[in-house]
Amino acid sequence: MRNEPKPKKSRLEKSKVKTMLICFYDSKGIVHKEFVPLGQNVNAIFYLGVLKRLVRRIRRVRSEYREDGSWRFSNNANSSSIPSSNRLK
């Protein structure tokens, strides 16, 4: 028993790469997820692109939401900061 090597202590190191994930889900689970590219600012123009891809994904994977007006976005952002939903189509 005395000849056994001591267990190595593990060290926790912070990752040098930070990643942001934007994720959308409903009661059935994750609908769409996107990693934000390194150095990309999440501004209205970038987020509008994410929302357009989300709409296409919803129509593809959730058949009950294919029709216009059968669903809506809900979040806790100030309504003045939300892009017009007319630009999502």
pLDDT per residue as tens digits for the range 8-65 = 777 778 777 788 999 998 889 999 999 999 999 999 999 999 999 998 998 898 888 7
In this prediction, residue 27 carries a pLDDT of 86
Q: Where are the domains of the chain?
A: 40-88
CA of residue 15 relative to chain centroid, distance:
20
Residue pair 46/10 in contact (Cβ under 8 Å)? The answer is no
In this prediction, residue 86 carries a pLDDT of 56
Residue 82: pLDDT above 70?
no
> Terminal CA-to-CA distance of the chain, rounded, Å?
70
Residue pair 56/88 in contact (Cβ under 8 Å)? The answer is no
In this prediction, residue 1 carries a pLDDT of 57
